[in-house]
Chains A and B, each alone.
Chain A
Amino acid sequence: MHIEIDEITKAFGATAALHPVSLAIPSGALVALLGPSGSGKTTLLRILGGLEFATAGRVLFDGQDATGLSVQDRRAGFVFQSYALFRHMTVFDNIAYGLTARPRASRPPKPEIARRVTRLLELIQLPEIGSRFPSQLSGGQRQRVALARALAIEPRMLLLDEPFGALDAKVRKELRQGLRDIHDETGLTTIFVTHDQEEAMELADLVVVMSMGRIEQVGKPQDIRARPATPFVRDFLNA
């Protein structure tokens, strides 16, 4: 799905989190929102997911105005920073949640839900863990379950908030490839937030560098590296 962000601003009380920000994301792209903490990248992601409403400006999905669309109707697969798995449910029930939460008319029958959950567990290469609880999983497993849960609703886009932030360096590298594979397999427009420039450069097709609620530069990783548009981008990449 093609996403267009048109002059979005966001203020929390007197503090501005986003100055007017505009950005077009082509359908099927894998995009990194890169910046230090406080740069507004998570706020922008949450606005796309419908978890915050913008103070002003519009969001367009495939050319249709989605600015006021409720979080439930956005069908954005969202992966949270600490994964936010439902701790009292098994992995199976976690992944099935989005399907069982549908109104009766559009809810798939039980065997169909089970089939889809099984398929998603295979997609994340953890076919055996359906009956476990989140507390019994490693950090990397939790991240993949969160991804499977987000994919279960057949989302129109995938939004990930620091998806590798809580993992150690080795698992981080493995799961980067995992996200790339899932993106290529599903073809979903995927946007992830990170403060790690290496991660953004290695994984994304398109990198959006942000600072202080503004977009500093948008471009392919190699272009940004070769030609930093502002002093901030140059300093940030050299840090």
Chain B
Amino acid sequence: MSDTTLPFRNPTSETVLARRSLIALAVLGMALLVGAPLLMVFAEALAKGLGAALESLGNRDARAAIQLTLIITAIALPLNAMFGIAAAWFITKFDFRGKAFLITLIDLPFSVSPVVAGLCIVLMFGANSLIGGWLVAHGLPIVFALPGIVLATLFVTFPFVARELIPVMIEQGRAEEEAALTLGASGWRVFRTVTLPNIRWALLYGVLLCNARAMGEFGAVAVVSGKIRGQTATMPITIEMLYNEYLSVAAFSMAALLTALALLTLLLKTLLELRHADALAATRRH
């Protein structure tokens, strides 16, 4: 047929030149702003060979930092998953006065500088404060210790789970829960067998985002931790300290490890999104 040889152009799309230059611009921007720095981190870490990089990660302080970051993340994730579910449940399943205010409050950690958040924790729980003084006297210091770092991390990562869940739960409405209630199920059973399965993908997604941020948090943790090497220095803080001491291989090795953990989280997130899309499409058809 002759019409197949005619140059085909979609009436709503741009010319080839315009399309190609836009794509080139996007790729260039991504490469310069995201790709290159990422590669540089790994290049710097391996500047003196893999052996030197691994050795710098193997010393006592570095191992302590890695361990501390993993412990904090392991504590913060389940707690924030719980808080997030509770907040999203409360906001989406009940009508009450001040709902808009509560949603704004959940977003607060996004808008407040992490350093300010850290300072608030120091003011509330520091040795000079009323609560902090009492706790220190009873052998449970908050600031410059693990509990303070956990509190700071919890504050900074609080919105992630709730923010993921609220739109999903609003869209799903209350009808399935109400149906379960009329069938005789108790509130807890309804949550376990109806609510939780319906939000599981969004929940996992929120937890992964929360995980990435919890491992990487610097500002708030820097204020409350006191940066005690081998004790309260997390991975990001250790990176900064090593860098300031011109130990570039050690600093970048730690940075590369932290980046690798973040990339792993992103990879998991992408894999989930592929499955999540199917699950979402299936529920939309309903």
Contact = CB atoms under 8 A, between A and B. Distances in A.
Interface of A: 49-51, 71-72, 74-78, 80-82, 84-88, 97-98, 101-102, 133-135, 149-150, 152-153
A87 B176 contact: yes
A135 B179 CA distance: 17
26 contacts: A49-B182, A50-B182, A71-B181, A72-B182, A72-B185, A72-B186, A77-B182, A78-B179, A78-B182, A82-B175, A84-B175, A84-B176, A85-B176, A86-B179, A87-B198, A87-B282, A88-B198, A97-B180, A97-B185, A101-B180, A101-B186, A101-B193, A135-B282, A135-B286, A150-B183, A153-B183
The list of the 10 closest CB pairs from A to B, nearest first, reads A98-B183, A84-B175, A101-B185, A78-B182, A84-B179, A135-B285, A88-B197, A135-B286, A72-B184, A71-B181
The size bracket of the interface on B is: 20 to 34
A51 B285 contact: no
A152 B184 CA distance: 11
A194 to B, nearest CB: 18
Given A84-B179, A86-B176, A97-B183, 11 more contacts: A71-B181, A74-B182, A75-B184, A87-B198, A87-B282, A87-B283, A98-B184, A101-B180, A133-B282, A135-B286, A150-B182
A97 B193 CA distance: 9
Interface of B: 175-176, 178-186, 189, 193-194, 197-198, 282-283, 285-286
Contacts of A101: 180, 183-186, 189, 193
A229 B183 CA distance: 38
B286 A87 contact: yes
Given A51-B178, A80-B175, A80-B178, A85 B286 contact: yes
